[in-house]
Amino acid sequence: MIKKRILVVSPHPDDETLGVGGTIFKYSNEGHEVNVLTISGHLPPLYTREDYEKTLEEAHKAFKILGVNKSYFLELPATMIGDIPLHELNSKICKIVNDFNPQIIFCPFPDRHLDHRLVFDSVMVATRPVGKGRNIEIVAAYETLSETHWNAPHIEPNFTPNWVIDISNSIKKKIEALKCYETQIPDFPGPRSLEAIEALAKFRGTQAGFGFGEGMHIIRMVS
């Protein structure tokens, strides 16, 4: 098997595990190199530095469980990504993409959360098929409970997966990693509760004929 370099772009700590936690473990366990780029976090002025350090600690614990090779944190304030000039955000993401030179990139679907939309737009710039971007074989967007499911139907884009990755052998690791995010994961029936996340994985899996899955929307695929 040819080993791949895979980059997961996450707007906030926990989005990567919610959206592609099972996939991260699946690929890292197979020997592929999986890196995670986290764009923003719980930083001042809306949160304290202590809030951010706590989520950072949770993220590192989750990454260790999932087998993440390397992580990057841009440390932009959550919900305030739009306050920095667009070219600066594009440049920061482009630098990571160019330095790592991944063959596969997973990014957030442009859902209800403005941060997710802005990060999606910048990833689209960073993954254009020019320069090192020509080495990218797959760009796919993942769904994130609960934001992806709260889009206004037929007014905003609805998440419709056209690729489901089998995570039947890694669903337990996904749940274990999510448990690290004690400040972010609510109890059932919270939309990001462990029960809801497992139910979604079971639903996506049965859509494709296996036990548990993670849905993706392929934006570009070349071979």
Amino acid at 194: L
Q: Of the candidates 28, 66, 38, which has an alpha carbon nearest to the alpha carbon of residue 174?
A: 66
- Strands (DSSP E) contained in the chain are 5-10, 33-41, 70-77, 104-108, 138-142, 163-166, 213-221
Give 68-78 pLDDT, tens digit per residue. Answer: 999 999 999 99
Q: Which two tokens stand for residue 127?
A: 């993954």
Q: Which two tokens stand for residue 3?
A: 């080993």
pTM above 0.75, yes or no: yes
Give 138-158 pLDDT, tens digit per residue. Answer: 999 999 998 888 889 889 889
The per-residue pLDDT for 160 is 94
Give 20-55 pLDDT, tens digit per residue. Answer: 999 999 999 999 999 999 999 999 998 999 999 999
Q: Of the candidates 178, 197, 221, which has an alpha carbon nearest to the alpha carbon of residue 25?
A: 178
